[in-house]
Amino acid sequence: MALRCAELFVAENGYTDLAATADSTRWVLEADDRGPWPRVLASRGGMLERSAATVQCSARRCMVFFRAPRTPHECAYRVVSMTQVFTRLTLQPGLVLEARCAERRV
């Protein structure tokens, strides 16, 4: 369920190669978003892949990892976090780099 919620969140908010949903009540401003909505949504386009790479849940939070193809790192990810009941979704700032990426690709 966390995976599905996060994939819907990134699609609706324009983080994938698809256009953001037309329903502006689904859009969420992130900490580093500046300017009017059209500019914010344009800057997000293609930031994340449509499908999540993996999910990790604890008793309090779920973290869903999406590959970030617009970075110079081959194995860079961004994280969508949410509560354990799949609410309060947000894209966390910063990248998560996979330490063993080169080993896995060989």
Domains observed in the chain: 2-105 (3.10.450)
Is the pLDDT at 36 greater than 70? The verdict is yes
For the chain, give the percent of residues with pLDDT over 90: 85
- Condensed to tens digits (0 to 9), the pLDDT of residues 54-65 reads 999 999 999 999
Kindly give the pairing relationship between strand 76-83 and strand 90-91: antiparallel
Model confidence, pTM: 0.90
Q: What average pLDDT does this structure show over 78-103? A: 92
Mark out the alpha helices in the chain (DSSP H runs).
Answer: 2-12, 37-44, 101-105
- Residues 8-21: pLDDT tens digits? 999 999 999 999 99
Give the distance, in angstroms, between the CA of residue 47 and the centroid of all CA atoms in the same chain.
8
How remote is the C-alpha of 45 from its chain's centroid? 11
